[in-house]
Structure 1
Amino acid sequence: MVTSQDVLLWIQDWYVRQCDDEWEHSYGVRIDTLDNPGWRVSIDLTSTALGNQSMIAVQTERTDNDWIHCLVIDKQFRGYGGPNNLSEILIVFQNFAQS
């Protein structure tokens, strides 16, 4: 089982591997909060090995505060989730990237 710490280290490493003196100037990883409350994660896939990959959307609704929606659209991974679901969103991205 992947832990929150594991996925955080993994996403840092993934980001560093994308940095090529060009990608990081136009693209990147963004983690923001939502006002309902929750998290929004946007990860640019352009000019990465994942740039042309598709992903089956993930939509899990457990409670008002325990949910995730993840998809790839316009060469961007987009993940949204409840206030305690940030690591789960990142794990969905990790699973996508490693598949």
Structure 2
Amino acid sequence: MEILDWIQDWFKDNCDGNWEHGEVIQITTLDNPGWEVEIDISNTSIATMNLAWIRNDNGKEDWYGVKIENQKFTAAGDAGKLKFLLGLFKEMIDKIEA
């Protein structure tokens, strides 16, 4: 399944009439250039998870970082990493729900 199809299904499956009224999934661009993904996990199977900031830096055009804090998944990466960042989120969900 393509990552965009998966994230759409995941969002729909977690909607409960309340949670989806907030800024649940935000995808924004960074000026370095890059992407930032923030996902509210308060209504999910990983709501109690915390993950200290993990950063992988191989230079200006090959980097990413990810953390889970205060019931929010946050990931950022270079301009070619959007699908990868969403994939990191999927991996975490898949591991918890397995």
Please indicate the TM-score interval, normalised by the length of the shorter structure. Answer: 0.7 to 0.9
Q: Paired residue for 2:39? A: 43
Q: Percent identity?
A: 32
Matched length: 95
Stretches of structure 2 that go unaligned for 5 or more consecutive residues are none
1:27-56 Cα offsets, whole Å, 9 max, x none, are: 410000001110000000112222112346
Q: Paired residue for 2:66? A: 70
Counterparts of 2:53 and 2:93, CA distance in 1? 14
Counterparts of 1:88 and 1:71, CA distance in 2? 14
Structure 1 residue 81, shift from structure 2 partner: 0.3
Q: TM-score, normalised by structure 2?
A: 0.87
Q: Paired residue for 1:18? A: 14
Structure 1 residue 6, shift from structure 2 partner: 1.2
1:30-85 Cα offsets, whole Å, 9 max, x none, are: 00000111000000011222211234643221220111101101110000000001
Stretches of structure 1 that go unaligned for 5 or more consecutive residues are none
Q: TM-score, normalised by structure 1?
A: 0.87
Code of the residue aligned with 1:7 in structure 2: it is: I
Counterparts of 2:22 and 2:81, CA distance in 1? 27
